[in-house]
A and B are shown apart, each in its own frame.
Chain A
Amino acid sequence: MTIPLEAPIDARRRNAVRTEPVVDRRSLDDPRLELLELERQGELIVQKIDREAIRVHTRYGREKRIQKAHLWHHKSCGQCGHIPGYSTSIFWVMRKLGYDYHDPHDQTSCTAWNYYASATSNTAAQAAVAVRNFAAAYESGYFPLIHCGTSYGHYKEVREELIRHPELRAQVRAIMAKLGKPLVLPEEIVHYSEWFHALRDEIAAKQVRDVSKIVVTVHPACHYYKIVAGDAIYDADIYGGQRTAVVTALVQALGAEVRDYSTWFDCCGFGFRHILVQRDFTRSFATLRKIEVMKEEANPDVVLTHDTGCVTTLDKSQFAAKAHGRNVGLAVLSEAQFAALAMGAHPYRVCQLHWHSADYRPLLEKMGIDWEKAWAEFQGDLGRLESGEKRYLDWEDVDGEHSRNGARVQPH
């Protein structure tokens, strides 16, 4: 199914209108300016972008800068916990492009998965958790890059709350003082998919695998573009600026075919508490409203998305539906894994696809990847670990790029 977007795109081109300025109470017009004003008043510290950055546009036209290197990776508990190839692909692509980063130990989860699931927290605690992580990034000198869509969305909420409510700033400042840390927020809150979007041409320039025969559907992650919507990246050339441009623009830069489907706006069914303790809802929604619709309307080789919960939900929900003969069976990857594969990453050493449930092998075959050979290589790696030859694999084992690009890992 194709949604006709040519008319609005052409109209915008004719009128040279790139974005749609509207009044949206739920997003501050320019949170960056608000932060800088609060810094001027001595209320907080703003961690500045201090390296080369790429300029992109947000939904209502505000310009946002994406720092390319020297980044503090705010990891995702769900990615690291059960889709580890999601995180390692982000790291790998950054290493491959030659940009240094810091993978910290002094980071906690944003705890927002639990908060949206159980509400066993409060505004002050959530803000303090966010600021403590931002302070750790600030102390390191590296600029934060948020891996999880929910962390990204929640931190944007927290930023709005801190800007709007001086009493909350005072409470958080007092807690931070107990920890010996300042009340600090970054100049921009940046999701990793925004970094991939901003650097898509550099990523495409390093592409070694042809993906032009791959058909992709994109699931835009709710917490990326629905929470504080004004701060998500939009581009008039992508969906006529009517949907977020991240993921889709990257996939197009890599040369794959993006096909549309009617339920693109629907969430994946994650539900936060539902995925853990009420999965009948999650399974039903993910398969009936997303996977089956994609298969019927677009028949893709893979669905790509850019958030922890979405990859988990869409990937894990298909097994039970398959037992009932439903029209499922669709590979689910993050766009970071897809980009890494296109750049030549190993499907198991880097992308860790053996942690996935939905069958990804037909996709690999269509990408020209001999997954049986790759699996045998990975088994060889595991054998080295089991024999005691090595305790852990490292980046050098992955592709011999150990430390070449200046990546720093904090000693534990």
Chain B
Amino acid sequence: MTATAARDAWTDVYCKSPEVGGYEEVPLEVKADLFEQVKGDIRFGDYLYGCYECGICVGACPSAKFYDFSPRRVAQAAAREDVALIYQQMQEDIWECSQCFSCLRCPRGNNPGGIITIMREVAVRNGLVSAKEALVGYSRIIYKIMSSGTQVSPDMLRPDAFPDWGPETGDVADNLDLWRRALPAETMHTTSTGWSVADRTLLELYVIWLETGALDMIAEVDSGLHSILRELMEERLEEEGIEL
């Protein structure tokens, strides 16, 4: 970055710019189209009613305490339809949100966390750099939930994956099969899923992922994972003679 660019970045109202963020600058029409996708979501009208600029959402927000992040800025940008700022937020801010919905304290009735959920969906669907970066290291989770119907499985508790969770994680990994067999609930003797999910139920889940386009959303952010999951689901449905 040149000294001038660096100075411009620091004089930017939010101290951020594409050069700093490391993402591609795009024409205004592209930004406007992305915002139209956000605004076109059926939930958008239920999530935004204006803004008093009171900052209660920021005061309640855990991410605002640790990051340069503000749910108020997101709500205001959406209310003003500031497509340039919204694009910047989609590239720089939205993945810092904790999705705890503490911002629902908003006295105006806004749901900034919900607006961010929609912005994230649009970022994923359009393969924005921020979405790709946010999901680095996350692919195995998507694979697990979409293919098995449960999310964090017992066999994911590995000390190399969670070294900061203490030696107990190693104890679980070392004794996994035995400790699972010691659970009194019959559905929970599994190690690769949280509980035993019936085959028919899994097939029904695959129909949902395929019919709603949820599976295809990940094609833009992780084409390899998308191919693997599509092949798996279509093969299983074909074996069972289920047509979409």
A residues engaging B (CB < 8 A)? 24-26, 75-82, 84, 87-88, 91-92, 103-109, 111, 113-125, 128-129, 132, 136, 153, 160-161, 164-165, 167-168, 171, 175, 178-179, 181, 222-223, 226-227, 229, 265-267, 269-274, 276-277, 279, 281, 283-285, 289, 316, 318-320, 349-350, 352, 354-357, 378, 381-382, 385-386, 391-395, 397-398, 409, 412
Contacts of A117 in B (CB 8 A): 99, 138, 141
Given A161-B42, A167-B42, A226-B104, decide whether A269 and B153 contact each other with a Cβ distance below 8 A: no
Q: Contact mask B172-194 → A, CB, 8 Å, 1/0?
A: 10000011111111111100001
Contacts of A227 in B (CB 8 A): 101, 104
CB distance A81 to B217 under 8 Å? no
CB distance B198 to A106 under 8 Å? yes
Contacts of B123 in A (CB 8 A): 119
Contacts of A397 in B (CB 8 A): 184
CB distance A270 to B178 under 8 Å? no
Binds A, one of B2-10, B73-81, B160-168: B160-168
Given A80-B195, A87-B188, A120-B124, decide whether A222 and B100 contact each other with a Cβ distance below 8 A: yes
CB distance B42 to A168 under 8 Å? yes
CB distance B66 to A175 under 8 Å? no
In the complex, A119 Cα to B131 Cα: how many Å?
A: 9
CB distance B184 to A285 under 8 Å? no
Contacts of B165 in A (CB 8 A): 316, 319, 357
Q: Nearest B residue to A110 by beta-carbon distance?
A: B151
**Residue in B42, B60, B205 whose beta carbon sits within 8 Å of that of A123 in the complex:** B42
In the complex, A75 Cα to B186 Cα: how many Å?
A: 13
In the complex, A30 Cα to B154 Cα: how many Å?
A: 39
User: Can you list 25 A-B pairs with a CB-CB distance of less than 8 A?
Assistant: A26-B104, A26-B109, A75-B195, A78-B194, A81-B154, A81-B157, A105-B195, A108-B205, A116-B99, A117-B99, A120-B124, A121-B212, A122-B121, A125-B213, A136-B201, A175-B212, A226-B101, A271-B62, A272-B98, A276-B141, A277-B137, A279-B164, A289-B65, A354-B168, A357-B165
* Chain B CB within 10 Å, residue with most, of A88, A109, A272: A109
Given A178-B207, A265-B102, A409-B187, decide whether A393 and B181 contact each other with a Cβ distance below 8 A: yes
Is B136 located at the chain interface by the 8 A CB criterion? Answer: yes
CB distance B208 to A120 under 8 Å? no
Is B28 located at the chain interface by the 8 A CB criterion? Answer: no
CB distance B201 to A105 under 8 Å? yes
In the complex, A279 Cα to B221 Cα: how many Å?
A: 22
Is B142 located at the chain interface by the 8 A CB criterion? Answer: yes
B residues engaging A (CB < 8 A)? 41-43, 46, 49, 60, 62-63, 65-67, 95, 98-102, 104-105, 109, 111, 117, 120-121, 123-124, 131, 134-138, 141-142, 145, 149-154, 156-157, 162, 164-166, 168-169, 171-172, 178-189, 194-198, 200-202, 204-205, 207-209, 211-214, 217-218, 221, 244
Contacts of B124 in A (CB 8 A): 118-120
In the complex, A265 Cα to B100 Cα: how many Å?
A: 11
Looking at the assembled complex, report how far the CB atom of B41 sits from the nearest CB atom of chain A, in whole angstroms: 7
In the complex, A161 Cα to B43 Cα: how many Å?
A: 7
Q: Nearest A residue to B144 by beta-carbon distance?
A: A114
CB distance A274 to B104 under 8 Å? no
Q: Nearest A residue to B182 by beta-carbon distance?
A: A393
Looking at the assembled complex, report how far the CB atom of B207 sits from the nearest CB atom of chain A, in whole angstroms: 6
Contacts of A164 in B (CB 8 A): 46
Contacts of B105 in A (CB 8 A): 226
CB distance A129 to B208 under 8 Å? yes
